[in-house]
A and B are shown apart, each in its own frame.
Chain A
Amino acid sequence: QKEVEQDPGPLSVPEGAIVSLNCTYSNSAFQYFMWYRQYSRKGPELLMYTYSSGNKEDGRFTAQVDKSSKYISLFIRDSQPSDSATYLCAMTYLQGGSEKLVFGKGTKLTVNP
């Protein structure tokens, strides 16, 4: 079983705070690491993805992967009320020649004005 562990929260922060969202995994077969954002009553949408260990930045968002510790993070700088959503980590692995995707259960974030 290729499992992904994610703290469900909920997480509540004031506007402008730095937010850290995290996932851990146990299987080194995972290759690509993604973060999805899901607003209330909507489907998940891809926020960022990364392959190698290290950081990837996109505006106020930074995705970090530490393959040696099997740990990934999403940092949100200068958080805004519009960032309030559930954030799901996801990871892919190869099985039978096709890519499989495993999701964490999601962390619900509320950014208070």
Chain B
Amino acid sequence: DVKVTQSSRYLVKRTGEKVFLECVQDMDHENMFWYRQDPGLGLRLIYFSYDVKMKEKGDIPEGYSVSREKKERFSLILESASTNQTSMYLCASSVTGAKNIQYFGAGTRLSVL
């Protein structure tokens, strides 16, 4: 079974803090994704990566950055957390050429106070 592991299930941070969300997948997938999920807005793509050290902006990249130093690990960084970044964050991975079927982690519920 594909396993996508997100480092934290729940996180509480203060406004202005730098926040790191970590994601690791164990199936040697080339592609990794970060989404946020909000009621009424659905899943929105923040950033994605098709290879190590490669990143592309998704639909809502403002206020976020990412890092992919190793194939299995994809990090989402909030440089200066704000209250409007309170959300559920979901990491996913997929194999190239496999219909982009994405496998998700359990999510990190981030609250910024």
Residues of A that sit less than 8 Å from B by CB: 8, 31-32, 34, 41-46, 49, 88, 92, 98-101, 103-106
Interface 1/0s, chain B 76-90, versus A by CB < 8 A?
Answer: 000000000000001
Assess whether A32 is in contact with B42, with CB atoms less than 8 Å apart.
no
User: Which residue of chain A has the shortest Cβ distance to B103 in the bound complex?
Assistant: A46
Residues of B that sit less than 8 Å from A by CB: 4, 40-43, 50, 90, 92, 96-97, 99-107, 109
Assess whether A92 is in contact with B99, with CB atoms less than 8 Å apart.
yes
- Tell me, in angstroms, the Cα distance from A88 to B101 when the chains sit together: 13
Assess whether A8 is in contact with B101, with CB atoms less than 8 Å apart.
no
Closest 6 CB pairs of A and B: A43-B104, A105-B42, A99-B100, A32-B99, A103-B43, A101-B100
Number of A-B contacts (CB under 8 A): 47
Q: A32-B100, A99-B100, A103-B42 provided; 18 other pairs, C-beta below 8 A? A: A34-B99, A41-B107, A41-B109, A43-B4, A43-B90, A43-B105, A43-B107, A44-B90, A88-B42, A98-B50, A98-B96, A99-B97, A99-B99, A100-B100, A101-B102, A103-B43, A105-B42, A106-B42
- Tell me, in angstroms, the Cα distance from A39 to B101 when the chains sit together: 18
Q: In the assembled complex, which residues on chain A have CB atoms less than 8 Å from the CB atom of B50?
A: 98
